Amino acid sequence: MTSKKIDKKDIAKLLGQWSRQFAVLAPSKASGVAEMAEWDGTDTSFLGWYRNTVIPPKASFFPPMEEMFRFQKDREGYHIELPPTNEHKQLIFGIRPCDARALAILDMTFKEAYEDPYYLPKRSSAVLVGLGCTNPYDSCFCTSLGISPAQSTDVDLMLTDTGDEFLIEEVTDKGKGLIAKTSGLKETTEDDEAKAKEAKETSHNKVTRKIDTEGIGDRLLAFFDDEDYWEKIAAKCISCGICTLLCPTCYCFDINDELVRQQGTRFRSWDSCAFPLYTKMPMENPRLEKWRRVRQKVCHKYEFYPMTFNVIACTGCGRCIRLCPVNWDITQTLANLPVKTEAKRGKASNIL
Amino acid sequence: MEQKLKQEAKSLLEQGKVDWIIGFEPGSLKFTTTPLITKDKNDADRLVINPFIVNNLANFLTEVKGRVGIVAKGCDSRSIVSLIQDNKVVRENVVILGVPCPGIIDLGKVERLVGKDRDELDDIIREGDKVIIKVNGEKKEFPATEALFDNCLACEFPTPQEYDILLGEPKPGALNLAQSRGNIEKLEGLTPEQRWDFWKKELSRCIRCYACRNVCPACFCQRCFVEETEPQWALPVPRWQDNLIFQIVRNIHVAGRCTDCGECERVCPVNIPLRSLTREMYDIVDELFHFKAGMDKDALPLMTHYEQEEAEEFFR
């Protein structure tokens, strides 16, 4: 992989160049919460505080709320007006490898399972510039999901902190193309490459929280019907939406219309399987008991998603652990699965 | 205190005086605890009492069936009493293990004091009116009032008013009322337009995770108005206007029930200063009705009855 490098103090210049071509998003707390927000043209203080955002970068492609269309009713019927397509391409600067992988996982739903007309245009025009972790949280467990906190996959360009500089790897053709049009970058030496390699290894070893994913789908299947276990681990859950809404791979959404006189708007917004009213509108929520909802969250990520897409829908970003009001910890739930005696097949009536 | 709790909890379960114990056990992250809800007497040894027992466990009382032994700080015990007033909990079914509370450590404040995240700290120790933070082998000392939750600084009743077993000596309250209302006073100094802009910005971040509502013992409606569809009071879409309606109505619904336990603000993942609303309502309830939530289990709930002397004409 070819690479370039840049002085840390020149990052503002780099983002400035890219701002002419893209809507540059970078880590920011300006709104009151850490998220990827439109870069203000000067601020690079995030290089000091940024470990990861609270709002996952999926929000730039699949926002908490968006207008699907507007409609108007008159004597002739309904008239539909689609929202204007945003021509401005997004460049996300500083995305972490866990969150970049999460977007690749979301693509499987929004691109392979069906083509989502709201997600895909934003996603396919975007450039992802990754930034390797140097200081993972104690709640991070990405290495157990086959991700290394400074790895260069699922992004177009990858930055690695080598001290006073960042090494920039050109990961995709899109990334290469962007670098070709970027000025002010320096050539790398073998020494730089060695430093970057060492930095990657160091950060990898800083992730100490581990789970055993070997045969996890089968283990969950074996205890799918173990109501006692799920009731026990679900007892302290308060059925809020933090762990799911802020999960970088959760993609459930709700659709709501607002009709004021004859003018209407259809919105879609994040939804969560943790909510008792989930899917209440089209039918009923088949998971009335809390333990069924908690089981769904765990099994969807570690059992059902792998059945469909052959990948675990968890990247070990740790947000669900850090942000949980009651310190419900998915790594404990997975670690404490009862010891397997014999595989019990879930009854069809109980599959929900 | 912790040893006594373990013994009491174990014997309550052993003697069949309770079916459940609800308390705290060590959490999975540094400086955290997590609710322990158990029927197993052997779990009693896991119970802890420390400056990080944040949750208001009264929230779980309506979830378990049977008799419950529950660990309660001052504010939590008032939430339990409030639930008794509302006929949500039967007094005889609860054994309150009262914890006289010296105040709970606000990890957000600690992080701001030392400029480090919680997982980067070596230790946080409460010693009387000091909090000692150990970071990178260095010891930093702060007045406790700078590291405790705002609601703890305002707490008038840190020792449970209603309890069956008190686990320690009563503690002094109202550590720093002025500081606890700091953010509210700032808001009161603004013009209505500026306040509107403030809340518009704050509530624009809401993602409708409903953690503030679900963590609140006073929010016990079986179906929240904000999720009603006929009529639809507000859209379940995180638009700031709808978020504002959600918070305003939630506040009115918990008036006279809110004990200022501060959980709504603590759990908000997007840092909305919700206590500036709830504490203001708490003070208004006190000023207008001379009512403090959860003080007397035999008192009628504030919002479900009226007195002949009520000021409003239409009530008579």
What CA–CA distance (Å, rounded) separates A324 from B301? Answer: 31
Residue A54: list chain B partners with CB under 8 A. Answer: 269-270
Q: Residue with structure tokens 């670690």?
A: A335
Residues B125 and B232 in one domain: no
A74 pLDDT more than 90: no
Residues B250 and B291 in one domain: yes
Residue pair A326/A236 in contact (Cβ under 8 Å)? The answer is yes
Residues B29 and B139 in one domain: no
**H-helix or E-strand containing B200?**
helix B192-204
What CA–CA distance (Å, rounded) separates B151 from B149? Answer: 5
B65 touches chain A (CB under 8 A): no
| DSSP 8-state assignment for residue B226 | G
Predicted complex ipTM exceeds 0.90: yes
Residue pair A105/A154 in contact (Cβ under 8 Å)? The answer is no
Of B117, B147, B177, which marks where a domain is finished? B147
Q: Which of residues 80-109 of A touch B (CB under 8 A)?
A: none
- Among A32, A236, A245, the residue with its CB nearest the CB of B207 is A245
The residue segments making up the domain with residue B34 are: 2-104+148-315
> Which neighbouring-strand residues pair with B95?
B69
Residues B135 and B153 in one domain: no
Residue A238: list chain B partners with CB under 8 A. Answer: 59, 211, 214-215
Residue pair A1/A169 in contact (Cβ under 8 Å)? The answer is yes
Q: Do A256 and B236 touch (CB under 8 A)?
A: yes
**Closest to B265 measured CA to CA, from B285, B238, B247, B239:** B247
* pLDDT tens readout for residues A127-136: 999 999 999 9
Residues B197 and B234 in one domain: yes
* pLDDT tens readout for residues A175-208: 999 999 999 999 999 999 999 999 999 999 999 9
In degrees, to the nearest 5, what angle opens at C-alpha B221 toward C-alphas A266 and B268?
65
The radius of gyration computed from the CA coordinates of chain A, to the nearest angstrom, equals 22
Residue A87, pLDDT score = 74
Residues B161 and B142 in one domain: no
Counting the structural domains of chain B, the total is 2
Residues B92 and B135 in one domain: no
Top residue of B208, B219, B250, B274 to mutate, by most chain A CBs within 10 Å, is B208
Residues B99 and B109 in one domain: no
Single pTM value for the model: 0.94
Window from A68-77, A208-217, A276-285 with minimum mean pLDDT: A276-285
Residues B84 and B213 in one domain: yes
DSSP string of A57-126, one letter each residue = GGGGTS-SEEEEEEEEEETTEEEEEPPPP--PPEEEEEE-HHHHHHHHHHHIIIIIIS--TTHHHHHHH-
Q: What is the token pair recorded at B38?
A: 């158990």
Residues B83 and B196 in one domain: yes
Q: Which of residues 268-297 of A touch B (CB under 8 A)?
A: 269-270, 272, 275, 277, 281
A239 touches chain B (CB under 8 A): yes
Return phi, psi of residue B72, to 5°. Answer: -140, 125
* pLDDT tens readout for residues A209-250: 999 999 999 999 999 999 999 999 999 999 999 999 999 999
Residue pair A168/B148 in contact (Cβ under 8 Å)? The answer is no
Chunked into runs of 10 residues, chain B (316 residues) has average pLDDT values of 97 98 98 98 98 98 96 98 97 98 97 97 96 96 97 96 95 86 94 97 98 97 88 92 96 96 98 97 94 94 80 63
Question: By CA distance, what is A289's nearest residue in B?
Answer: B63
Q: For residue B121, what is the domain's CATH number?
A: 3.10.450
Question: Mind telling me how many Å the CA of B228 is from chain A's nearest CA?
Answer: 10
Q: Do B269 and A328 touch (CB under 8 A)?
A: no
